[in-house]
Chains A and B, each alone.
Chain A
Amino acid sequence: MSRWLPPLVLGLAVLAAWEAAVDLARIPPYIVPAPSRVLEALVADWPILGPSLVFTLKTTVLALLAAVIGGGGLALLFAQSKTLERALLPYAIILQVTPIVAVAPLIIVWVDNRLVALLICAWIVAFFPILANTTVGLGSADRNLADLFRLYGASRWQVLWRLRVPSALPYFFAGLRVSGGLSLVGAVVAEFVAASGGEETGLAYRIFEAGYRLDVPRMFAALVLVSLSGIAIYALLSLVAWLSLRRWHESARSAEE
């Protein structure tokens, strides 16, 4: 209870002050809408915003899945061959440090399918934390345990699946939490760059569109949905990590004791 109360009280106080300030200073809603106006817009525009939320979430989740498979898979490959790691890692870093806003237009020109183009953009942003963390984790197995495996003649495969992969799990989950947020960022940025309507459009395009029409309450409403999505993804991934690690890893311990 004491964990949730302070941020909740602070949030409500800020919202109340905001509402009062907008009301007292008579700020027009096309500059800053009051929280109540944003809520009204959220309800009234739900037929438009709801499907957009679903689309953005779909892109985000698919990109995160691709990041898990791509980042985790690459890390496993790196663990098998130092040469391969040396050859590929610089390019993975280049992908990571090049701003996605700069690359996205190219991808959108090259890839016809809009969803696939958005996915590629979100993946580029999201895969690196999983790759970097899992690579460190796979190399961090206890040295004495590694000796023990050697003493009993363990095969490469046994060392990988029975020792290195379990040792890497806490690192993987730390990367996963970062990548979850980045998948959403990637999806939203790519939608902004694509900035085209179609049968399916995401929240970012709704923000763009509402801004063009000076429908600021709807901009805020869409923004609220993006933020809530990010929080939900983070909370969900934290829960998955906690469920997987609570029996043995220190990082998942505090909640129990």
Chain B
Amino acid sequence: MEPLLVALDRVTKRFASGTLALDGVDLALQPGEFLSLLGPSGCGKSTILRIIAGLARPSAGSIVRPDGLEIGFVFQEPTLMPWARVIDNVRLPLDLKRASGAEAQAQAALELVGLGGFARAFPRELSGGMKMRVSIARALVTRPSLLLMDEPFAALDEITRLRLDDELLALWRSQGTTIVFVTHSVFESVYLSSRIAVVAKRPGRIAETIAVEGPVPRGGFRLSPEYNAQCAAVSAALDRASA
């Protein structure tokens, strides 16, 4: 068995308001996998992500995470600093760590998402999809072993979203990063993931995990009967979890 990257053991989260957000979440991340957390809004998917990132603490249970694990985080909004140029946004994680060679690494990360020519632009000059690419470049600039994404394409139009799905898969294959991807779309989760964790609501918990079988790379996968069958299976799992 491969070593685990991060493991959550019976993690429970109760907010200060008394709401039980998560109850007994067990989750083990395998290095190199693309795991989707799939569930309805308000089921605690984002809270699981924040706990993995260390931005929130479990109220009970434990989390095992190697020291110095390099984490990248992409929010639902691009979350760029509007006052800073694209290149300065991308190099922010390196600047905060006072790392050297930030400019070159940030430029390389921008090339990776196809925005090499926009380094000097301000965020407001970019489209929604481009801003999201900048946000992904910023998350990749530290070469993270773990990339956490919280419904990153939810606010984008479908055409842009499908293209970014493919770009993300290409990045995942070329960078060898482990990705945890939060979504409420069955279709997106089946298309992207190697594994799906279905999250049930109130309180949030992992109802089922489902391995996704599909060609890598995904060429034509969206139109195949296998894709449809797995979407149907995942949908059924989601229904069971919501019942």
Contacts and interface: CB of A to CB of B under 8 A. Distances in A.
Contacts of A169: 83
Contact of A147 (B55, B84, B96, B142): B55
B93 interface: yes
Interface string A1-27: 000000000000000000000000000
Interface string B73-86: 10101010111100
A152 B83 contact: no
A249 B82 contact: yes
Contact of A166 (B55, B79, B83, B124): B83
Contacts of B96: 149, 152-154, 158, 162
B54 interface: yes
B122 A248 contact: yes
B92 interface: yes
Contacts of A158: 96
Contacts of B73: 147-148, 151
Interface string A214-257: 00000000000000000000000000000000011100000000
Contacts of B81: 145, 162-163, 166
B55 A152 contact: no
B71 interface: yes
A124 B156 CA distance: 50
Interface residues of A, number: 19
A144 interface: yes
Contacts of B77: 144
A256 to B, nearest CB: 11
Contact of B79 (A142, A247, A248): A142
B82 A248 contact: yes
A144 B74 CA distance: 10
Given A158-B96, A247-B122, A248-B124, A151 B79 contact: no
Contacts of A154: 96
Given A248-B122, A248-B124, A152 B97 contact: yes
A138 to B, nearest CB: 14
A150 interface: yes
A147 B124 CA distance: 21
Given A144-B77, A151-B71, A152-B97, A248 B55 contact: no
A148 B122 CA distance: 19
Majority secondary structure, A binding face: helix
Nearest to B50: A147
B44 interface: no
A153 B95 CA distance: 11
B123 interface: yes
Contacts of A162: 81, 92, 95-96
Nearest to B77: A144
B119 interface: no
A141 to B, nearest CB: 10
From B73, B93, B96, B142, name the one whose CB has the most chain A CB atoms within 10 angstroms. Answer: B96
B55 A153 contact: no
B198 to A, nearest CB: 26
Contacts of A247: 83, 122
A151 B53 contact: yes
Contacts of B95: 162
A169 B83 CA distance: 10
Contacts of B123: 248
Interface of B: 50, 53-55, 71, 73, 75, 77, 79, 81-84, 92-93, 95-97, 122-124, 142
Given A147-B75, A148-B73, A152-B96, 11 more contacts: A144-B79, A149-B96, A152-B92, A152-B93, A153-B96, A153-B97, A158-B96, A162-B92, A162-B95, A166-B83, A248-B123
Interface of A: 142, 144-145, 147-154, 158, 162-163, 166, 169, 247-249
9 contacts: A147-B73, A148-B79, A151-B71, A151-B73, A162-B92, A166-B83, A247-B122, A248-B83, A249-B83
Q: Which 8 A-B pairs have the closest CB atoms?
A: A144-B79, A248-B82, A152-B96, A166-B83, A154-B96, A144-B75, A248-B83, A152-B93
